[in-house]
Chain A
Amino acid sequence: MPYELIAVVMFAGMMLMLMTGQRVFGAIGFVGAVAGMLLWGTGGVEIPFAASMKLMKWYPLLTLPMFIFMGYVLSESKIADDLYRMFHVWMGPVQGGLAIGTIGLMVLVSAMNGLSVAGMAIGATIALPELLRRGYDKILVTGTIQAGSSLGILVPPSVVLVLYAMIARQPVGQLWLAGVVPGLLMATMFIIYIYIRAKMQPDLGPAMSHEELAEYDEISTHPLRLNFIVLAGIVLVPLLVKFDVIAPKSAIGFALGAAVLGFATRAMPLFYRDVFLKEKHRLLFSGVLPLAIFATMMVPFVNGWTSLVESSAIGAMTAFIAAILKGRMNKAVFETTVRSTLGISCMFMWIILAALGFGAIFDGLGAVKAIEDLFTAQLGLSPWMILILMQLSFIVMGTFLDDTAMLVIVAPLYVPLVGALGFDLIWYGVLYTITTQIAYMTPPFGYNLFLMRAMAPPEIGLKDIYISIIPFAAVMVVALALIMAFPQIALWLPDLVYGR
């Protein structure tokens, strides 16, 4: 069979199988395995399994269950509740302020987990009902949450960028940093959009009155618990490092030790003190928590003291301990967290397993060469045209292909080509991430849309969800165009930190 035909048959077969609604990994795995059996020749039947060995050795995949676990600890233990209320109180008096606050919440949640699922869950369970109750427009709110949760894979840590890093053979640290400014830029653009809309149509997002906020000006009954060991750790460890008393690397051990001691002494009155602040200020203080979790993970990583996978384990542990220290890790939360982590991790791993097998067979049968040939030789396009065409094809494919599967199957075809055309692969990683995000939230179908539909209350219909996304998708396209035109938006921070 000619290469082009193999490429077409395998892709069409996969599309058809996906349409039947069978589990994604089964659909992809089946097409790959059968193609291997029929077209490869001797030994083709072994490739689907060889993919499991490949997957095992792909060490950054170890971060996947870690980040999923972190996300569930955050959303299930509701330690994000205080975060939400913080934005609620401080932003509420502004027109559309609660929606703006939701974007802020999403930025912080994004800094604590690697996927968009957790952001979606937190947004849909905490922010959504509250905003509807306060008379916010349901379309504005739905769009805000979907757009905000898409920041989860752009702001570090990001599982998608880890997978991209593995495929493009680019450093994860630089990719993560490259996502920071574009992520914040996109968040800012969302906020500007919401602010303007709410100014023009005040009934979309009514400002909260003073009466509604009064309760927050009272002394809180929920004290802020200060554990002296943890506090001493926070103050002493950086000082000891600064004055060369301990090596920077050892700081990890001391910090871990302080955390464990803090956990052990959480109920011993000698070691902590409850502080009663005004509710408003207590909430502001609890906003520090995600930054602390983010720092325990990112500081050792960016400095090279711990590796990527080790850092992800430290992050998972820190989030877990934080939930315990806040008294939110009860039996039910623990059960849901651990079980859901297994479910989602298995979903990802089995899709990646099937997609790796599909990809190797697709490649070995010569289909990859056919596609490269099509883009470079046969169409005779300029590099920029090819790049834009690829982005468009992602949007089309994102309508029927699962995001993880798309990454594992399609990115290996495109990324080497992008590199060969002379584009920066770090920059392209950011473009790729934003493009796929647009793909998953644009109608008629997309992964984020399905999630939203599953989580939204009944008064929000499918049509509302579809309409809600249009302005935000437009904002993302503008952001994408800006980053394409000015690569420095993405590359400035990694250049600064790593001195590329």
Chain B
Amino acid sequence: MPKLILRYIRAVEAMNRVIGRFAMYLIFALIAVLLWSSVSKTFFNPSLWTLEMAQFIMVAYYILGGPYSMQMGSNVRMDLFYGGWTTRTKAFVDAFTVLFLMTYLGILLYGAVSSMAYSLGYFGLEPFSFFGDIIVAFFTEGPSAAWGKIGYIERSSTAWRPYLWPVKSILCFGVFLMLLQCLAELFRDIGRLRGVEI
């Protein structure tokens, strides 16, 4: 395998591992928020933010933990036929079908970026060029010009009214990491077909 590809696999998997292991401990943040919710409800005034906060943590938990869970092989497959194949056949079929998985993630990513752009007040149909414009404006005309491109900032329709761009950016980032991980899997399978175990 070319060195570059090996380096890519190592770098992506190391990064996803670190991020995934961070996400792994969010389970305790989730427990803490929910416990606080029951304690505050019992002894003080119930908190306004606990349920939504727990939902945001949950999103970060499974989205950022997704690539790491893929590394661990946690995602089930229907192995009726798959289970009986040789490693080589598996690699061959996987190298092909992982493209379908990447198509799904690509569509998911497009939706995420588009929704993220909406949460920053962009109502058009080209979310990528919206972010492109912001970045260009930032480097050519400075931060205030970039800020000027941002419109109505979306807030959750609850009484707590948190901004939604933070959770949406986590979603964008997590889906992107999943794509990187899938690409690494694809390289691995191609390696296996050529007889190299990475």
A touches B (Cβ under 8 A):
yes
Residue of B nearest to A28 (CB): B104
> Interface-forming stretch among A42-50, A276-284, A323-331?
A42-50
> CA of A128 to CA of B110 in the docked complex: distance in angstroms?
48
Decide if B25 touches A26 in the complex (CB within 8 Å).
no
Cβ proximity bits A9-50 to B, threshold 8 Å, 1 near / 0 not: 000000001111111111101101110110000000111111
Contacting pair A310 B38 (CB below 8 A): yes
Decide: A52 and B59 in contact? CB cutoff 8 A: yes
When distances are taken between beta carbons in the complex, the residues of chain B under 8 Å from A69 are 27, 31
Residues of A within 8 A of B65 (CB): 342, 345-346
If A343-B69, A344-B74 touch, whether A338 touches B108 (CB-CB below 8 Å) is no
Number of A-B residue pairs at CB separation under 8 A: 204
CB-CB contacts below 8 Å: A294-342 with B: 300, 305-307, 309-314, 316-317, 338-339, 341-342
CB atoms of A27 and B100 under 8 A apart: yes
Name the residue on B nearest A44 (C-beta).
B107
- Is there a chain A Cβ closer than 8 Å to B34's Cβ? yes
Contact check, B75 vs A25: say whether CB atoms are below 8 A apart: yes
Q: Are B27 and A342 touching (Cβ within 8 A)?
A: yes
Closest approach, in angstroms, between the C-beta of A171 and any C-beta of chain B?
18
Which residues of B sit under 8 angstroms from A316, Cβ to Cβ?
A: 31
**Chain A residue with minimal CB distance to B118?**
A46
B35 touches A23 (CB 8 A): no
Q: Is the CB of A345 within 8 A of B42?
A: no
* A19-B103 in contact given A24-B75, A49-B112, A61-B58 (Cβ < 8 Å): no
State whether A400 touches B58 (Cβ < 8 A): no
Which segment of A347-355, A368-376, A478-486 sits at the interface? A347-355
Q: Does A133 contact B (CB under 8 A)?
A: no
Query: Is B132 in contact with chain A by the CB < 8 A criterion?
Result: no
Complex contacts, A311 vs chain B, CB 8 Å: 38
The smallest beta-carbon distance between B188 and chain A, in angstroms, is: 14
Q: Are A59 and B74 in contact (CB under 8 A)?
A: no
Contact status B101-A23, CB under 8 Å: yes
A249 CB within 8 Å of chain B: yes
Q: Select which of B34, B42, B81, B97 is within 8 A of A250 by beta carbon.
A: B42
B114: chain A residues at CB < 8 Å are: 46, 49
Q: Is the CB of A310 within 8 A of B37?
A: yes
Interface size on A, residues (CB 8 A): 70
Q: Which residue of A17, A21, A33, A339 contacts B81 across the interface (Cβ within 8 Å)?
A: A21
> What separation, in Å, do the CA atoms of A343 and B39 have in the docked complex?
29
The answer to whether B34 touches A62 (Cβ under 8 A) is yes
Is residue A499 within 8 Å, beta carbon to beta carbon, of the partner chain?
no
B135 interface residue (CB < 8 Å to A): no
Query: Is the pair B100, A22 in contact by a Cβ cutoff of 8 Å?
Result: yes
Would you give the shortest CB distance from A311 to chain B, in whole angstroms?
8
B72 touches A24 (CB 8 A): no
Partner of A33, one of B69, B72, B107: B107
> How many whole Å from A396's CB to the nearest CB in chain B?
14
Tell me whether A22 and B34 are in contact (CB under 8 A): no
Among A18, A66, A346, the residue within 8 A (CB) of B62 is A346
CA gap between A445 and B103 in the complex, in Å: 28
The listed residue (A56, A57, A306) touching B41 by CB distance below 8 A is A306
> In the complex, which residue of chain A has the Cβ closest to the Cβ of B82?
A21
Name the one of A20, A23, A33, A45 contacting B93, with C-beta atoms under 8 angstroms: A20
A57 vs chain B, min Cβ distance (A): 7
Q: Is B54 in contact with chain A by the CB < 8 A criterion? A: yes
The yes or no answer to A2 lying at the interface (CB within 8 A) is no
Asked whether A309 lies within 8 Å of B94 as measured between CB atoms, the reply is no
Chain A residues 44-98 with CB under 8 Å of chain B are 45-50, 52-53, 56-57, 59, 61-62, 65-66, 69
A342 B103 Cβ-Cβ under 8 A? no
Q: Kindly list chain A residues whose C-beta atoms are within 8 Å of the C-beta of B115.
A: 46, 49-50, 53
The 7 closest A-B pairs by CB, nearest first: A49-B111, A21-B82, A26-B101, A343-B74, A313-B34, A346-B69, A349-B62
Q: Kindly list 4 other residue pairs between chains A and B, CB separation below 8 angstroms, not including A22-B101, A33-B104.
A: A21-B97, A33-B108, A253-B43, A309-B37
Q: Which residues of A contact B (CB under 8 A)?
A: 17-27, 29-30, 32-34, 36-37, 45-50, 52-53, 56-57, 59, 61-62, 65-66, 69, 249-250, 252-253, 256, 300, 305-307, 309-314, 316-317, 338-339, 341-347, 349-351, 354, 400, 402, 444-445, 447, 450
Q: Can you list 25 A-B contacts (CB < 8 A)? A: A20-B97, A21-B94, A23-B101, A24-B78, A29-B108, A46-B114, A49-B108, A49-B171, A62-B34, A65-B58, A66-B30, A66-B34, A252-B38, A252-B42, A310-B35, A313-B31, A313-B38, A339-B24, A343-B74, A345-B65, A346-B66, A347-B69, A347-B74, A350-B62, A402-B78
